[in-house]
Amino acid sequence: MNFSFSNTILIIGACWLLCFLIQLFYYLYFYIRLAHKRKGDNSSQPPVSVIVCAKNEEENLKQFLPLCLTQEYPNYEVIVVNDCSEDETSVVLESFAKKYAPLKISTIKKDEKFNHGKKLAITIGIKAAQYEHLLFTDADCYPVSTTWISDMMSLYTPSTEIVLGYGGYKKEKGFLNKLIRFDTLFIAMQYMSFAIAGVPYMGVGRNLSYKKNLFFRNKGFASHATLLSGDDDLFVNETANKKNVSVNLESHTRSIAPATFASWVHQKKRHQSTFYHYKGLHKFLLILEPVSRFLFYFIIPVLLLLDIKTWIVVIPVFAVRLIVFMLVYYFSTKTLKEKDLLLISPFFDFIFLFEELIIKLTKKTQRQYTWK
């Protein structure tokens, strides 16, 4: 009986150590890559079409659009697609067009018989663009630097067709803001480090660039046209490979974070609706990490309850993971300018194990997943 009990502890302990090694693999092979910033070629300044889709964004356009229109870049245009807005968006845009030469406006009129999502607005913006290099952000986003366009374009090489950037959220007071920003930080650590490692799987439309030719070669969003989401992550998932993607860690955009937990959950559900359309390898890698993390935390109390003497192994191994974790997050929060999240990151690392469960158990919203 003792032999059987000892074997049980050994098997559970071996599973726990395997989860530990998997965690080390993710942190030391993938996530640590954000510690090294790749310098771009600032002499590369191709003409750029910045595309912004706006649906009832009157106030955000007033506040943020001038930051796109006053970039330190020699040759660019900003195309704002006014998508059936019912507020004063058109008035704001017409006023700005008189003041800022780079601004171009495309308007989609509302049709009661035809509903559409953001993908149509983006497609119209791309067709209106006169330049090959496209740069995307949202109407509720703003670049943190006047060299945003320059920094994104500096990562283009002869083989580059996609440049991924970081789109974070503005720092504000409150726990919810930190929760949302940590979630955004971790997602960025994943898609950016995976891309640097040669496994690109997504980008975010708040800060994303690709070539017009790539869009039309891929027939736009045709393969997932029926999905309301996916204009950024699914497009990158389809078209990116280890040779045609660069990652910009230097210049970021910021957005206003959702004001309530319910609105954030709704946003998360909409974003996660595209996950099942990812390539098999990407889904496997994205599932393996949280599963191994959950088992790593869950098995610790099991081992200690079965045999308290296992603390001799449990504590050192836990300490090693924590040290590696903090080291990687130190570089990541520094690179992505989220330093205030460093000390609280171990807490979020644990509670985000239950994020998926919480989101799935929340009451289903009655509204459809619209882009606005």
| Domain edges within the chain | 23-34+281-361, 39-278
Whole-number pLDDT of residue 44: 78
- Tokens of residue 293, six digits: 């993390």
Is 118 within 8 Å of 225 (Cβ atoms)?
Answer: no
Q: Give the pair of three-digit tokens for residue 2.
A: 């003792």
Q: How many residues does the chain have?
A: 372
39-278 maps to which CATH number? 3.90.550.10
Report the 10 Å Cβ neighbour count for 72: 10
Q: What is the pLDDT of residue 365?
A: 44
**Are the C-beta atoms of residues 233 and 286 closer than 8 Å to each other?**
no
pTM: 0.92
Please give the full DSSP string across 124-138, using - where no structure is assigned.
HHHHH--SSEEEEEE
| pLDDT score for 107 | 95
What span, in angstroms and rounded, lies between the C-alpha atoms of 67 and 209?
18
Above pLDDT 70, what percent of the chain?
94
Which residue, 279, 141, 134, is CA-closest to 220?
A: 134
Q: What is the pairing mode between strands 208-211 and 133-138? A: antiparallel
Q: Determine how many CB atoms are found less than 10 A away from the CB of residue 207.
A: 29
Helix (H) or strand (E) holding 105: strand 103-108
Q: Which residues of 284-308 are buried (b: 16+ CB within 10 A; e: fewer)?
A: ebbeebeebbebbeebbeebeeeee
Strands of the sheet containing 167-169, edge to edge, are: 141-143, 253-255, 167-169
The answer for residues whose C-beta is within 8 angstroms of residue 158's C-beta and 6 or more apart is none
Specify the pLDDT at position 32: 97
**135 close to 209: Cβ distance less than 8 angstroms:** yes
Question: What pLDDT is recorded for position 362?
Answer: 60
Residues 214 and 217: their CA atoms lie apart, in Å, by 5
pLDDT at 165: 97
Mean pLDDT in consecutive groups of 10 residues from the start of the chain, 372 residues: 75 96 98 86 88 96 97 97 94 96 94 82 97 97 96 95 97 96 97 98 97 97 90 96 95 94 88 90 96 96 94 97 98 96 96 76 50 60
